[in-house]
Amino acid sequence: MATAKKLTDNHLTCVICTEVFTDPATLQCNHTFCKSCLLKYTNTQPEAIQAKSIPCPSCRQLTKVTTPDSPVEEWVSQLKPSHVIQGLMDDFGPGTEAGDVNNCSVCKTQGKTTPATSWCSICDDVFCDGCLKLHNMMPMSRDHEVVGVSNSTKRKAKQRFMCKIHKDKLIELFCKDCRMAICHTCCSIKHRKCDDVDTLDNMTPVVREHLSNQNQELKIKMTTSENEVIFKKSEIKEIKTNAQSIRNEIRKLRQTVVEVILRKEKQLLDKVDRSTDEQLQELQAQITSQEIDLQMYQQQYEFTATAVTSNCEMDMYAVYESVGEESTDNRDKDNRPAPGKVVFTHDMEKLSKAVDELQLGKVEVVGGVSDHQSTPVLHHTIDCKADDDRLNTVMFGVTVLTVDGIKVTVVADHLNNSIKTYQTSKPNTHGYHLLLSSGPCQIAKLSESRIAVCVPNSREIVTVDVTPDPVLMSTIQTRKKYFSLACLSPSQLVAGTCLQSHSVDILDMTGKILKSINTGVIKNPDCIHVTSNNNLIVSETSVKSLVSVTSEGEAVFTYTPTGDRAMINPWGITTTSTGDILLVDCNSHKVIQLTESGQFVRDVLTQQDGLKYPRDICLDGDGFLYIACKHDIRVFKFK
């Protein structure tokens, strides 16, 4: 009983009237309501009526009606409950309590509770043995099919195929035009103008197959929705983490500015202290000198006073002779200037202006390439030409690292045989470079401070630490000339050669070939990318194709567009956090966006955006897109 109540409360209750369904109707969106409630709601939606549709009160999705010229009442009356709802109503709906099911319907009207033994599929009533005899004697019901009440499976099956309008008629036909199961009477009255009516026996396998296919699609949609929810939740976590990181960075910057101000304050206070001490010392020295003079004058005064008052003229003249030439006027004795006054002078207007113009930084929302409506905007350009370059720069690879909190752009300059690094995201920043034995091609990011680079003409793969200047760590000798390279795991690389082998090699960190993976139509991979789920994506200019395979060599998709979308020189590859694929087409001067399954989305960038012979591409953690063009790196952000 508890289960029945829970089912009734949660699944058999109309959200409009909040009561158990009376004559339920299910819309195309699978939401179910009482027909009377649905009719009242539809009559309040003139736009839906004008569109010849029934609106869903829950999700607002419209359900197209089969007879648009009929009144709204007939639109609603033709709706049926889903099989699940109908089954639940049969088992747990009103009037299905155990006592009602087991008692004779006729006796019940007389106030009796006689146990039922039989059920009529046409009347949809249960009878005791006595009432069943009367039922079978009636001319109108003597031919009705009667079964035992214990045979619930057969009862439900019979209920499902009885016409709702002509209750004594079996549903034996299906109108394909109206997509309705009907009885012969309905066919002759309401469907006589329909062109395609078939028997239920013929339609049942078709309907079953259609529903099975629909179920498979719903299962896929459920999985997709579940994955989307998981991804969105991870995005929420990432956004919160990013926000906290930015808050910490702003506070750290504020603390740095405060420390600068405190340092300047200390400098001023120290100067005040020094100046004050100098003045005090000078004045103290003058006081000491004056005190000595005062002592001397007091002695002379006393000596002179004694001589004057003495009766001895000889003593008086002796004193007079000793002091007569000395002047008691001390005005010219100390010519030192009086000490100056310490003052603090400040320009409040200048200070206020400096505070107003103080910029701790800028906070902005940077869009992502995964948003198909976002627009790329050039943020800055990195000029990769060095003073000691012997030839023009030609960028074959690019990646972005974060070394000690600083973004470092790393590029492979093929013609100048060098790896170049640039410390900041600002244009025209100072760069470092590492000279190699010959021209480097693709860069594989091993960690935030280490890369591997293939050097095909020397049959080498070199590992380089970025500190942020590039430092050669090791040189791996290989048996083949590898032109493309990617990191499969911390201990494995995947590399492509030009031997027309239709495969790429999995290598360990000593250069040993562990196995080869088939790449389909791709003979000589120009670029390799490893996705977040360890699938491989390879491109080749000569076959103008992009191929995706698993790390076990199973094909995922092959992208070889024709016509206006045909590629000329597909090259560098990267993927977004949502799995979308970004591919550069060198001679078409554009960046193409595909879905994870290889479906075309859009041209993200073209020659009109300043692209000229792009060869490689990468995304950083902040959503900035880096394109390695022929002579520079173009950095774009999305709005």
H helix or E strand, kind and range, residue 492:
strand 492-497
Whether pLDDT at 494 is above 90? yes
Is 416 a member of any domain? yes
Q: In what order do the strands lie in the sheet with 180-183?
A: 180-183, 171-175, 197-199
- Nearest C-alpha neighbor of 67 from the set 205, 204, 182: 182
Tell whether 433 and 556 lie within a shared domain: yes
**Per-residue pLDDT band at 98 (split at 50, 70, 90):** very low
Mean pLDDT of 35-53: 87
pLDDT band for 509, please (50, 70, 90 cuts). Answer: very high
8 within some domain: yes
Alpha carbons 622 and 418: distance in angstroms, whole number: 27
Q: Is a pLDDT exceeding 50 seen at residue 412? A: yes
How many domains are there within the chain?
Answer: 3
Amino acid identity, position 436: L
Confidence band, pLDDT 50/70/90 cuts, at residue 149: confident
Which of 371-385, 467-481, 504-518, 561-575 has the least mean pLDDT? 371-385
Distance CA 531, CA 525 (A): 16
Q: What is the mean pLDDT of the chain?
A: 84
Does residue 406 sit in the same domain as residue 292?
no
Domain presence at residue 365: no
370 domain residue, yes or no:
no
Place of tokens 């600002």: 426
Asked whether residue 234 is assigned to any structural domain, the reply reads yes
Q: Where do the H-state alpha helices sit in 146-199?
A: 152-160, 184-189
Q: Helix, strand, coil: what percent of the chain each, to 5?
A: 35, 30, 40
Q: Quick one: pLDDT at residue 145? A: 78
Evaluate whether residue 363 is within a structural domain: no
User: Tell me, what DSSP letter sits at residue 59?
Assistant: T
Model confidence at 100: pLDDT above 70: no
Determine, yes or no, domain membership for 317: yes
Nearest-5° Cα angle at 474, 471 to 476:
140
Higher pLDDT, 36 or 124: 36
Among 187, 208, 229, identify where a domain stops.
208
> Is the domain of 140 the same as that of 286?
no
Within this chain, do residues 320 and 399 fall inside the same structural domain, yes or no?
no
Residue 362 within any structural domain of the chain = no
Domain boundary residue among 161, 179, 208? Answer: 208
> Which residues in 531-558 are b (16+ Cβ under 10 Å) and which e?
beeebbbbbbbebbbbbbbebeeeeebb
401 shares its domain with 262? no
Measured CA to CA, the distance from residue 238 to residue 231 in angstroms comes to 10
Least confident window among 167-176, 337-346, 432-441, 554-563? 337-346
Give the confidence band of 9 by pLDDT, cuts at 50, 70, 90.
low
Q: Which position has the higher pLDDT, 159 or 104? A: 104
What is the pLDDT confidence band of residue 482, given thresholds at 50, 70 and 90? very high
Pair (102, 121) in one structural domain? yes
DSSP for 100-158?
A: HHHB-HHHHHTT--PBP-EEETTTTEEE-HHHHHHHHHSTTTTTS-EEETT-HHHHHHH
How far are the Cα atoms of 33, 225, 234, 237 from residue 231, in angstroms, in the given order?
Answer: 33, 10, 5, 10
Residues 385, 348 within the same domain: no
Q: For position 59, which CATH number holds? A: 3.30.40.10
User: What's residue 153's pLDDT?
Assistant: 42
Q: Do 553 and 484 belong to one domain?
A: yes
| pLDDT of 243 over the 70 cut | yes
Same domain, 538 and 584: yes
d(CA 19, CA 12): 8
Mean pLDDT of 134-162: 69
CATH number at residue 546: 2.120.10.30
β-pair partners for 403: 406
Instruction: Decide which of 147, 177, 208 is a domain's last residue.
Output: 208
Q: Which residues lie closer than 8 Å to 539 by C-beta, 6 or more apart? A: 522, 525, 526, 527, 545, 546, 547, 570, 571, 572, 573, 583
Same domain, 116 and 195: yes
pLDDT confidence of residue 506? 95
Residue 274: which domain range?
209-357
Q: Lowest-confidence range among 120-129, 454-463, 585-594? A: 120-129
Lowest mean pLDDT segment, chosen from 5-9, 136-140, 421-425, 568-572:
5-9
Q: Are residues 399 and 545 in the same domain?
A: yes
Same domain, 324 and 344: yes
